[in-house]
Amino acid sequence: MTTPPVKPNETAELEELYDLLRTARLNAKYYGELVSNLQRWNLGVDIAIAIGTSSTLAGVAIFKTDSGRVALSIVAAVAVLLSIVKPILNLSKRVERASKLWGGYNTLFNTLRRAAVRIATTGCVDDDCRQIIKDAQDRMDALSGDDDPRPNPKVLQRIQAEVNLEIPAESLCWSVDPSNEREKSSGETFVASAAAPTTTAPTATTG
């Protein structure tokens, strides 16, 4: 399919659209991973507490020996410590917050992706697409208020590389002068293409 030429005066709108698109995808992947990790930690802590406070362990033969009783006392102490620390960690609340952010950014990404496909097909930014961009800006601002104040830089760097592979420069239907300061600062170079961005659904399986 050949994409109709995009009007020069729409370049700024397209730049904003694709900036929002890639940012939404990055954040959706980041919080998807965070949800998965927090859920694993929460489950692990619950299992450790359950094991450490279980009276049935004392009846197991291995724990009736001297070394077994020492091990059992250590397990019980760890369980008590985890019981004290768990409310402070507030893992359930953190899972809830990360899940909300994942859902918000994922929905935003899918909405922007549909707009990008529409623009790639028609070759113009119509009023409906402009409204989508405006609403996306407002939604992004609202979601960012709950963003992780100290995100893991290594995770962000890895996910940014994944997003660059999922939504490569060649998939974008417009071009920007490489000397553009904003483009240089983000390390991204967008080029004209007939293809619309295509990505897979977010997966939160990385540890």
pLDDT at 154: 94
pLDDT at 11: 79
- Residue 195's closest CA among 174, 178, 179, 171? 171
CA–CA dist 26, 98 (Å, integer): 14
- How far lies 163's CA from each of 54, 57, 93, 104, 139, in Å? 45, 48, 28, 18, 20
Rounded to two decimals, the pTM is 0.69
Domain ranges of the chain: 8-38+91-186
- What is the Rg, in whole angstroms, of the alpha carbon atoms belonging to the chain? 24
CB 16 within 8 A of CB 190: no
pLDDT at 56: 62
pLDDT tens, per residue, the chain with 207 residues? 444 455 556 778 888 899 999 999 999 999 999 999 999 888 888 777 777 776 666 555 555 666 766 776 777 777 778 777 777 778 888 999 999 999 999 999 999 999 988 888 887 888 898 999 999 999 999 999 999 888 999 999 999 999 999 988 777 765 444 444 444 344 333 322 323 333 333 433 333
Phi-psi region of 180 (alpha: psi -120 to 50; beta: other; left: phi over 0): beta
What interhelical angle do 91-122 and 127-144 show, nearest 10? 160
7-18 burial string, b = 16+ CB within 10 Å, else e? Answer: eeebbebbbbbb
CA–CA dist 111, 125 (Å, integer): 15
pLDDT at 24: 96
Q: Is 128 exposed, middle or buried (0-12, 13-18, 19+ CB in 10 A)?
A: exposed
Read off the amino acid at residue 5.
Answer: P
